[in-house]
Amino acid sequence: MSTVPNRQRRRPQPSRTSRTAGAAASTRSGARPAAGAGATATPRAAKAATPKAAAATPKAAAATPKAPPARRTPAGTARTADRPARPTRPAVGSSTTPAPVPARKPRAATTTRKASARTTGTAGPARAATPELETPAPRPAPRRAGLVPADIADALASVLSKATDAIRDNEAGSRVGTDIEHVHQMRVATRRIRAYLKAAKPALDAGAADQLRSDLSALARVLGEVRDLDVMIDRLHSEADDLGGHDGEALNRLVHQLDSRRDAARAALVAELDRKTFPALLAELDAAAERPPVSDPWADLPALAAAEWGKLDKAQAKLQRRFGGNPPDDDLHELRIYGKRARYSAELLTGKGSRARRPAAVKRYLAALAELQEVLGNHQDAAVLEDQLRELLANAGTGGTRGRRGGPSADELLAALAAGRLIERCRMRKVQARQEFPGVFGAVQRAAAKAFGG
């Protein structure tokens, strides 16, 4: 067997007659001549019409300047696709036209430049221009997991409803005054509502929230006056019992000055409850609980609670820089108010409908805030009691007889001695509260880092 070099091998060329016959057979099988070709197909055109040439990739077909020929859809109607459909290779031995493959769904034009670039051509039939698509409206930004529009509305509805029920339940007891706890619970309810509305204000209708807080202010004021006197009188009587003897009796006589003031404050409270505005206020609270005035349903409740914690932390850092470990009493009281707001705003994360991402950490944070509030509350009670005792002694109206030379009577002297002993106790309690404060606030900082940290 002879070996012939590859370059000398030549495929046998069919005769002119066989090439013409092959072109005719290809035409009968459904192949179409190239656009712009004459009626009589040349050998090159006949060869391009074979299935092998039809199997060219779409990328190669798109490189030609001519527009693709119209294809026939299964319904038999001619169409011009935005992109030429991928041709299929006919089955071996099949003499019929292969079924067309469903064309790809054309891509939407992203810019006018791309749409115009596909419609340009130098020869052949013009391609139908792709119509420009209108720019769709921007979709809402994706939200974090666990954040749904109903969160803040459901949370506010729950806490507002609970607080409104507390106001109703304690109204009768607050009028009578036999149990000071009724006034306390009623006052706490009004404070909570005002704190909730303030903490969630970025997500609420500002006008509606401010109006509701303003309507609550008159009731909160008269409740506060009665509550402060209730606490003062109860604490003084308790201290008098501890002192016992003549000092206790003298202190009890001193406390009687506060009884008349409390009676006047309770009369003002009853008058406020008898006004027509009180039923209207309850109806307003019911409406707010039924449909909270939410203007931003996508508000992030944890972010609002974290913002209130940030205010508390910033206020404490400011006190530390200015006064070190011994800030004034009034500044510690203001810090206590920040703590209450932080606590009430965090309670929104535990209400009905809330989906807090770290519920266990939030509960520990609330417990730490409650402990902070207890320590600062003890400090505030001791400070207020000391100031009140000094005011009572300055009035010198204990009802006792005056001395021979117009000096203090024996009762006044005994009351002054008893008040002095009690003031010393108040100072000791303040010192203890200040010693406990750094550790308690540190616990709040650690709990807040876990509740709101990244």
CATH of the domain at 153: 1.40.20.10
Q: Please report which residue ranges of 396-409 form alpha helices under DSSP H.
A: none
Q: What is the pLDDT of residue 134?
A: 52
Phi, psi of 72 (to 5 degrees): -105, 130
Q: What is the pLDDT of residue 174?
A: 95
DSSP code string of 266-317: HHHHHHHHHSTHHHHHHHHHHHHHHS--BS-TT--HHHHHHHHHHHHHHHHH
Band (pLDDT 50/70/90 cuts) for residue 175 is very high
Domain limit, last residue, from 248, 268, 290: 290
In this predicted structure, the answer to whether residue 210 has a pLDDT above a threshold of 60 is yes
Q: What is the pLDDT of residue 257?
A: 80
**230 and 373 fall within a common domain:** no
Q: What is the pLDDT of residue 211?
A: 92
Per-residue tokens: 173: 């007891």
In this predicted structure, the answer to whether residue 437 has a pLDDT above a threshold of 90 is yes
**285 and 203 fall within a common domain:** yes
The answer to whether position 422 is within a domain reads yes
Range scoring the smallest mean pLDDT among 329-338, 357-366, 435-444: 357-366
Per-residue tokens: 448: 């807040």
Say whether 70 sits in a helix, a strand or coil: coil
Q: What is the pLDDT of residue 23?
A: 45
**305 and 157 fall within a common domain:** no
The answer to whether position 199 is within a domain reads yes
**247 and 325 fall within a common domain:** no
The answer to whether position 453 is within a domain reads yes
Instruction: Report the distance separating Cα 13 and Cα 30, nearest Å.
Output: 25
Q: What is the pLDDT of residue 247?
A: 80
In this predicted structure, the answer to whether residue 285 has a pLDDT above a threshold of 60 is yes
Band (pLDDT 50/70/90 cuts) for residue 364 is very high
**186 and 319 fall within a common domain:** no
pTM > 0.85: no
Q: What is the pLDDT of residue 409?
A: 73
In this predicted structure, the answer to whether residue 269 has a pLDDT above a threshold of 90 is yes
Band (pLDDT 50/70/90 cuts) for residue 229 is very high
In this predicted structure, the answer to whether residue 51 has a pLDDT above a threshold of 90 is no
Nearest partner of 384 among 339, 445, 330, judged by Cα: 330
Q: What is the pLDDT of residue 405?
A: 55
Print the domain residue range for 311.
301-454
Range scoring the smallest mean pLDDT among 83-87, 317-321, 371-375, 390-394: 83-87
Higher model confidence: residue 108 or residue 438? 438
Domain limit, last residue, from 290, 310, 338: 290
**277 and 378 fall within a common domain:** no
Paired with 204 in beta bridges are 294
First CA to last CA across the chain, in angstroms? Answer: 82
Q: What is the pLDDT of residue 311?
A: 95
The answer to whether position 204 is within a domain reads yes
The answer to whether position 425 is within a domain reads yes
Per-residue tokens: 217: 């202010």
State the sign of the Cα–Cα–Cα–Cα dihedral 147, 153, 157, 163: positive
Domain limit, last residue, from 244, 263, 290: 290
Instruction: Report the distance separating Cα 425 and Cα 397, nearest Å.
Output: 23
Interval 9-40: pLDDT, tens: 455 555 554 444 444 444 444 444 444 444 44
**305 and 254 fall within a common domain:** no
The answer to whether position 12 is within a domain reads no
Q: What is the pLDDT of residue 353?
A: 53
**316 and 451 fall within a common domain:** yes
The answer to whether position 259 is within a domain reads yes
Q: What is the pLDDT of residue 419?
A: 85
In this predicted structure, the answer to whether residue 261 has a pLDDT above a threshold of 70 is yes
CB distance 223 to 190 below 8 Å: yes
Burial 302-328 (b: 16+ CB within 10 A, else e): bebbbebbeebbebbeebeeeeeeebe
Total number of domains in the chain: 2
Instruction: Report the distance separating Cα 348 and Cα 427, nearest Å.
Output: 36
The answer to whether position 279 is within a domain reads yes
| Segment of 202-216, 266-280, 407-421 carrying the highest mean pLDDT | 266-280
How many CB atoms are closer than 10 A to CB 16? 9
Average pLDDT of span 51-62: 43
**266 and 368 fall within a common domain:** no
**335 and 356 fall within a common domain:** yes
**240 and 216 fall within a common domain:** yes
Q: In this structure, what is the dihedral angle of CA atoms 428, 430, 431, 432, given to the nearest 10 degrees? A: 90
| Segment of 117-121, 238-242, 351-355, 370-374 carrying the highest mean pLDDT | 370-374
Q: What is the pLDDT of residue 126?
A: 46
Average pLDDT, the chain: 74
**331 and 227 fall within a common domain:** no
Band (pLDDT 50/70/90 cuts) for residue 410 is confident
